[in-house]
Amino acid sequence: MSEVTTGKSPSTILFDCLNEMVVAAAPATILDSAAVLDSGWQELKGDKGIIVSNSEWDFAPTFGTQTEIYDALLIIAFYWRIPSDDTSERREPRDKCFQMAQAVVNKFFEGNQDLGGRLCKGFLLLRATDGDKSTNSESYAIINQPIILNPSGSRIDYTLGEAK
């Protein structure tokens, strides 16, 4: 881990990375102007965005009394507002979520896969799922992309406890 991530939770590390990605997005691209939320408890903002879930992880020693996080399991949720009252018409918003997820994953795989110097052992993406969510009389297409930061190769309980 680097000075950038020392003392930060896995959720904050991932949030910072995604927020930088969105801020750096070129105008009129799929990530341009997307909201980035650091909790599923925050109100969905705008027509599109990314939410970082709570996380589960292991602490392990590195040097002397220093510790790092390993096997940090989180979910990146991508959302896109369904512009119609007819929520069965969600193909286009679902495809927009897919495009956002694909853009983020492509950025993750660029370079040395340490999320901009934030990780020591990289990341592992798990199987993504799509669905929908209704809040405050709005409906959204959703894609959930599980990710493991600093995977150790140990078997992990993928149920995520409270993080959903």
Residue 136 belongs to what domain range?
A: 10-149
Query: Whole-prediction pTM value?
Result: 0.88
Strand partners, 61: 67
Amino acid in the structure at residue 99: Q
123-149 average pLDDT score? 89
DSSP 110: S
Amino acid in the structure at residue 66: Q
With respect to residue 160, please indicate whether it lies within any of the assigned structural domains: no
Q: Dump pLDDT digits (tens) for 72-130.
A: 999 999 999 998 777 667 889 999 999 999 999 999 999 778 888 888 888 999 999 99
Give pLDDT, residue 111: 76
Residue of 120 and 38 predicted with greater confidence: 38
- Interatomic CA distance for residues 72 and 6, integer angstroms: 15
Please report, for the domain that includes residue 91, its CATH number.
Answer: 3.30.70
With respect to residue 154, please indicate whether it lies within any of the assigned structural domains: no
- Give the count of domains, the chain: 1
Instruction: Give the dihedral of Cα atoms 8, 14, 15, 20; nearest 10 deg.
Output: 110
- Interatomic CA distance for residues 119 and 14, integer angstroms: 10
pLDDT band per the 50, 70, 90 thresholds, residue 3: low
